Structure 1
Amino acid sequence: MKRPFHATLFLAQLCTGAALADGIQVIPNGDQASMAGSADYFTGAVVVDMLVTPTEYSQVSGAHVTFAPGARTAWHTHPRGQTLIVTSGKGWVQEGSKDKQEIKPGDVVRIAPGVKHWHGATDTNGMRHIALQEAVDGKNVEWLEQVSDDQYTK
């Protein structure tokens, strides 16, 4: 018997990777400890709170990332692109040699596959966003060089 489409079940599947045939899986808030962003991939104070990790059903991962003023990612790319949903504060995102763009709460940033970019807080305001990306062959990001202070302030 074919199941009807239910938006709630679809969202549960998207967020947790659970298949419709498996029902709904609730992952309690706080089940995963907060992590400091690695100095290999971030500049400044960054806290990463994982929301979803890949499963056998879905290769999507997501985190709520908190950047202190001046904090940012290194340059990087994603094989299937990335979506950022800004939840608080004020930040910047930049693609390659293009001008950086301001991002603020409610903004959704869609980054195409393979696009070299960075994102983080402004120099005077912290920023939080939800970052969603999909893995290809178990890899969801290619980290590159750090964003220099000159690149960041330009």
Structure 2
Amino acid sequence: MQITRSSIDTARGPGDWFTGDVYIDSVAAAPPPSRMTANLVHFMPGARTHWHRHPLSQTVFVTEGIGLCQRRGGPVEVIRPGDRALFEADEEHWHGAAPNRLMVHLAINEGDADHEVVQWLTPVTDEEYAAPPVEH
């Protein structure tokens, strides 16, 4: 067993990955042979990722607030606490907070010597972000 005491400062999400105010807390980054990493990501209202893809997929688990997500070519979807969104390997997508609510999610990713954890693409435009969401 290994206990890592909370000593890593909250990081501000870089502007070349996110639009708006985003804060990231590292949760898990086990040494090889593990391939899993996890981050708790806090999106302020209106904040969102840029378009991106994960060569080995990504799961996000919403813990607080109201979020939005979209895969390339699909509708904008509303995500709420307890919802899990699985983005398939290499599926271009984005996720973030609703315009008037913050959203926090746990992002679980894999990476290895042959696959980066994430490939960042272009920003989500205001028009893409403002598309009417689908509620389930």
Name the counterpart of 2:123.
146
Name the counterpart of 2:59.
83
Q: Contact 1:134 / 1:140 at 8 angstroms: preserved in 2? A: yes
Aligned-residue CA RMSD (Å): 1.0
Q: Which amino acid aligns with 1:146?
A: P
Per-residue CA shift, 1:89-120, capped at 9, x if unaligned? 00001000210110000111111101000000
Name the counterpart of 1:27.
4
Q: In the aligned structure 1, how far is the partner of 2:112 from the partner of 2:70?
A: 23
Name the counterpart of 1:65.
41
More strand by share: 2
The number of aligned residues is 130
**Bigger radius of gyration among the two:** 1
Alignment TM-score, normalising by the size of structure 2: 0.92
- Structure 2 unaligned blocks of 5 or more: 132-136
- Equivalent residues in 2 for 1:104-143 (5 A)? 104-137=80-113, 139-143=116-120
Helix, strand or coil at the partner of 1:93: strand
Among 63, 68, 73, the alignment partner of 1:97 is 73
Q: Contact 1:79 / 1:136 at 8 angstroms: preserved in 2? A: no
Alignment TM-score, normalising by the size of structure 1: 0.82
- Structure 1 unaligned blocks of 5 or more: 1-23
Percent of counterpart pairs with the same letter?
35
Q: Contact 1:62 / 1:133 at 8 angstroms: preserved in 2? A: yes
More helix by share: 1
